[in-house]
Amino acid sequence: MNRPNGYSGIWGLQMGLLLLMTFYSFFCAAGTVKVDQNGKVKTIQEALAMSGSGDTILVYGGNYSEGTILIDKPLTLIGIDRPIIDGHDRDSDIIIIASDSVTLEGFTIQNAGTSYIKDLAGIRVRRKNNFVIRNNHLINTMFGIYLEKANDGKIVDNQVIGQAIEEVSSGNGIHAWYCKNLFISGNTIVSHRDGIYFEFVESSQLVDNISRNNLRYGLHFMFSNNDEYTNNLFEKNGAGVAVMFSKNINMYQNTFANNWGSASYGLLLKEIYDARIEENIFDGNTMGIKVDGSTRVTYHNNSFENNGWAIKFVGGSYDNKINNNNFISNSFDLVLESARNNNTINGNYWSSYTGYDLDKNGIGDIPFRPVKLFSYIVSRTPESMVLLRSLFIDIIDFSERVRPMFTPENVMDHAPLMNKVVY
C-alpha cells in the first residue's frame, strides 16, 4: 500500500537535487576568473585554486612561468592575446590535465627542456576524458601533447613546433597511448621525432593535419585499430606515415610528398590487415609505399608521381587489390617478387604503358607488366642502380617485358587504362 508513496518520496528528492544543481550551476559554476599580470589575480595557479568546477579562467597576455600547472577540476582555460606559459627548460611537464572535461585554448606553451629519462610534455592528459585542446602554440616542448589513457578528446588547430636534432633526445608532437575516440584536426606539427604517434589507439580520426620535417615518421601507428586519417599533408619527414601491426586503418585523400633519403618512404606498411588506401597522392618520394606484409588491403584511386619506387612489396602480401590508380613517371612502378601471387592488379593507368587501344574503349588491348627486370636486378645488387636510365637497361627491360624470365609472369594488369583515372 505504501509503495506509491515511497516512489513519490524518492521522486521528490531527485527533483529537489536537480533543482539545487541547476541553481548551483546558475549562480556559482558559471563563474569567471580573470588572470592578468596587472590585475587582482596575477598567476594561473592562484586562479586554479580559487575556481570551482565548470568555471572559466580567462588569462590575459603576458609571460607566466609557474612551474608545472596541474588542472584537476573541470575548467575552461582561455588565453586572450596569446599568453605565454614558459617552462624555462626546468625538465618538467608544463601543463597536466588531471580532470575530465577540461578545455585549454589560445596559449603559447614553451621550453619544457630535454630529458633522456623522462618524457617531458607541453600538455599532458592523464587518464581523463572529454578534453579539448584548441588553438595553442607548443614550442620546444619535448613532447607536444602527451595523452595517456585519455579518451573522447579533441585536439584542434594547434601548432606544435619542436627542435628535434636526434631521435634519442626528442619526443613526438602528439603522442597518444591507450586512447579511444580522439579527434585530431587542423594541427601543424614540425621537427619532432614522430609528428603524431599512436600506440593502442582505437576509433580515432585525424583530419587536415600537416606534419613536416620530423626525424622519423610524420604519423606513426602501432597496434592501433579502426582509425582513419583523411586529407593530411606529410612532407619531408624521415618517412611520411608508418602503419605497423594495425587493423582496419582507413587512409583517404592524404598527400605524401618529398620524403627523400636512403631509407625513406611516403607510407610504410608493416603487418597490416584490412586497410583501405584511397585517393591519396604520393609525389616525389624515394619510395611511395613500402609494404612489408599486407593482407586484404585495397589500393584504390591513388596517384603515384615522380617516385623512385611507387609501390614496393617485400615479404608475403596476399589478397591485396591494386585497382584504378595512376602511376606516372616513377622510376619503378611496382616491385612484387614473390612467385606466388594472388593480388589483384587491374584497371590502373601506367604512364610507361606502350600498348594500343584499337576498339577505343579506353582500355589497352594488351596487358601491362609493371614489374621491371631492372628492379629485380637492383634489389639483388643495389650498386647496379648506377645504370638507371642507360640504354642497355632499357633494352633488357624491353626484352624481359616481351617474354618474362626473371620477373613473376602472372603479375600484370589485364585492363590498363589509356587515360589517367579521374576521381
Partner 1 sequence: MLKILKYSFFDLIRSKWSYVYFLFYLVISSSLLYLSGDISKVIISLMNIILILVPLIASIFGVMYYYNSREFTELLLAQPIKRTNIFLGQYIGLAVSLSSSLLFGLGIPFLIYGIFRSAEIWNFIILIVTGVFLTFIFSAISFLVALKNENRLKGFGIVIFLWMFMAIIYDGLFLLSLIVFKEYPLETISLTLSMLNPIDLSRILILLKLDISALMGYTGAVFRKFFGTDTGLLLSTLILVMWTVLPVWAIVRVSGRKNF
Binding site for partner 1 (CB under 8 A): 260-263, 284-287, 306-308, 329, 331, 377, 380-393, 395
User: Can you tell me whether residue 223 is helix, strand or coil?
Assistant: coil
| Nearer to partner 1 among residue 218 and residue 288 (C-beta) | 288
Residue with cell 586519417: 229
Best CA proximity match to 113, nearest among 95, 96, 93: 93
The CB-of-236 to partner 1 minimum distance in angstroms stands at 11
| Nearer to partner 1 among residue 243 and residue 377 (C-beta) | 377
d(CA 90, CA 340): 57
Contact between 130 and 104 under an 8 Å Cβ cutoff? The reply is: no
The CB-of-250 to partner 1 minimum distance in angstroms stands at 28
160: left (phi over 0), alpha (psi -120 to 50) or beta: beta
| Nearer to partner 1 among residue 165 and residue 395 (C-beta) | 395
| Nearer to partner 1 among residue 169 and residue 384 (C-beta) | 384
Best CA proximity match to 385, nearest among 400, 375, 395: 375
The CB-of-194 to partner 1 minimum distance in angstroms stands at 22
The CB-of-43 to partner 1 minimum distance in angstroms stands at 51
| Nearer to partner 1 among residue 212 and residue 300 (C-beta) | 212
Instruction: Name the burial class of residue 20, with classes exposed (0-12), middle (13-18) and buried (19+) by CB atoms within 10 angstroms of its CB.
Output: exposed
d(CA 91, CA 108): 18
| Nearer to partner 1 among residue 44 and residue 289 (C-beta) | 289
| Nearer to partner 1 among residue 96 and residue 378 (C-beta) | 378
Contact between 44 and 85 under an 8 Å Cβ cutoff? The reply is: yes
The CB-of-264 to partner 1 minimum distance in angstroms stands at 8
| Nearer to partner 1 among residue 12 and residue 382 (C-beta) | 382
Residue 202 neighbours by CB distance under 10 Å: 17
| The three three-digit cell numbers of residue 182, written as one number | 580522439
The length of the chain in residues reads 423
Amino acid, res. 12 = G
Kindly state the DSSP code that residue 409 receives in the 8-state scheme.
T
The CB-of-391 to partner 1 minimum distance in angstroms stands at 5
The CB-of-381 to partner 1 minimum distance in angstroms stands at 4
Name the maximum alpha-carbon separation found in the chain. Answer: 101
The CB-of-230 to partner 1 minimum distance in angstroms stands at 27
d(CA 254, CA 130): 27
User: Can you tell me whether residue 45 is helix, strand or coil?
Assistant: helix
Amino acid, res. 137 = H
Question: What distances in angstroms separate CA 1 from CA 6, 7, 10, 13, one per listed residue?
Answer: 10, 11, 16, 20
| Nearer to partner 1 among residue 28 and residue 263 (C-beta) | 263
The CB-of-322 to partner 1 minimum distance in angstroms stands at 21
